[in-house]
A and B are shown apart, each in its own frame.
Chain A
């Protein structure tokens, strides 16, 4: 049976699409799933860095589409999980190198080899967004609890509905419990009230994310990270498990004093 194709999108840039893709890819692999992560951000590839696989790239998705290599050659095997693969974006090309039908073909071929195909969509609502969401069975909308990001998420959900694309589910990323408590940040209920789609996860702001991304060791691998726990839970919910939402916790005094590990 073909695997499930899930596209991670947001409209706005910088809300954590690539971070989410990397963590969910690893999170699903940790649960024993076969996963292929496709970096669809042609020309601005980042997913390889976050997964720590940058120096293993030989061929990329555009090489495959243009017939210069086989599918397997464009799949970089993860160094931690043998059933996790990255299909990197081409860095020297742009979004026009791929058409909607190209991406559809690649995603469906990948789905034959994996349980989950995760497509990391570029920001925006242009060509890159379109070819990323067209093959999807499910679109994960990543938003931050701030007005501009929620507005863009709303726009993207509207486009998905109008074009009859896949259903959307929501991940609220970078929520800060302290600020929410003081009424200085949108809370999850306000965001959900506006967007009115089902919630898959809430991920707290966590300084470990940045450090982990730079090191190519996403936080999902870190048993002590709050955000890592959230991503592990999202991965389990994606598999259909009923996992309760974790309570929002502020960092403990000790964590504040000593900062991120």
Chain B
């Protein structure tokens, strides 16, 4: 991945987009390709643009938004150390700081290190909250009904799952889902969907779900 013109990282707050290439056109072109490749994953997401010291002009901001619009993505925040960039972002009504009580106030703690393909998140996903990440996800917390995790790889939840998990969202059929208590409204792995049995009065125990013979099977996690 070394010299990608742009990097995209799924985090709890949104998709962090970091331009790397010097020419804005190269950044946009690479972004368009990256978004198209995993459209289902990115669609509807909110974007945190990480500019660092780099200056962002109004026209650059507008062209970026045009591309994001195609994927129903919202430019939500612009993080920068450059005063002019901050002014531009504010002029367009964008956040230039993330909310203080967001569980990961420290951006380094929230995003996976560059090149890593796993994300560790310590929080509970409440109804309406969604976490998506292209790699593996480990969640220390619960997924409440109406909350969801979408991951390109495996999903491990140290907690209760009562919402939706989609593992292998980019098509990996070998992905698995593990949780201390698996009582989800729905599990998805790659293109397979299974819903919870209607009687879920079983004793809670750690389980692992994976695809076996074209079906999602949950077994005790031992």
Contact = CB atoms under 8 A, between A and B. Distances in A.
Interface of A: 147, 151-152, 154-155, 157-159, 161-164, 194, 196
A155 B99 contact: no
B192 interface: no
B129 interface: yes
A40 to B, nearest CB: 22
Nearest to B145: A151
A151 B162 CA distance: 11
B126 A155 contact: yes
30 contacts: A151-B127, A151-B145, A152-B127, A154-B127, A154-B128, A154-B145, A154-B146, A155-B126, A155-B127, A155-B128, A155-B146, A157-B126, A158-B126, A158-B127, A158-B128, A158-B129, A158-B147, A159-B128, A161-B101, A161-B102, A161-B103, A162-B99, A164-B100, A164-B101, A194-B142, A194-B144, A194-B145, A194-B162, A196-B124, A196-B142
A154 B144 contact: yes
A196 B124 CA distance: 9
Interface string B97-118: 0011111000000000000000
A161 B126 contact: yes
A162 B99 CA distance: 7
Contacts of A157: 126
A6 to B, nearest CB: 18
B129 A162 contact: yes
Contacts of B145: 147, 151, 154, 194
A147 B146 CA distance: 12
What is the predominant secondary structure among interface residues of chain A facing chain B? helix
B149 to A, nearest CB: 14
A151 B147 CA distance: 10
Contacts of A158: 125-129, 147
Among B102, B124, B142, B162: residue with most chain A CB under 10 A: B124
Given A155-B146, A194-B144, A164 B128 contact: no
A60 to B, nearest CB: 30
B127 A164 contact: no
A151 B146 contact: yes
Contacts of A161: 101-103, 126
Interface in B122-150: 124-129, 142, 144-147
A164 B102 contact: yes
Nearest to B101: A164
B112 to A, nearest CB: 20
A223 B144 CA distance: 39
Contacts of B144: 154, 194
Given A155-B146, A164-B101, 10 more contacts: A147-B145, A154-B128, A158-B126, A158-B127, A159-B128, A161-B102, A162-B99, A163-B99, A164-B100, A194-B144
Nearest to B13: A162
Contact of A164 (B99, B146, B147): B99
A154 B162 CA distance: 13
Contacts of B99: 162-164
A157 B126 CA distance: 8
Contacts of B126: 154-155, 157-158, 161
A149 to B, nearest CB: 11
Interface in B61-119: 99-103
Contacts of A159: 128
Contacts of B162: 194
Nearest to B126: A158
A161 B144 CA distance: 15
B164 to A, nearest CB: 13
Contacts of A147: 145
Contacts of B124: 196
- Max chain B Cβ within 10 angstroms of own Cβ: one of A147, A152, A194, A196: A194
Nearest to B141: A196
Contacts of A151: 127, 145-146
A82 to B, nearest CB: 38
Contacts of B127: 151-152, 154-155, 158
A52 B127 CA distance: 37
Contacts of A163: 99
B102 to A, nearest CB: 6
B15 to A, nearest CB: 15
A38 to B, nearest CB: 24
B40 to A, nearest CB: 23
Contacts of A164: 99-102
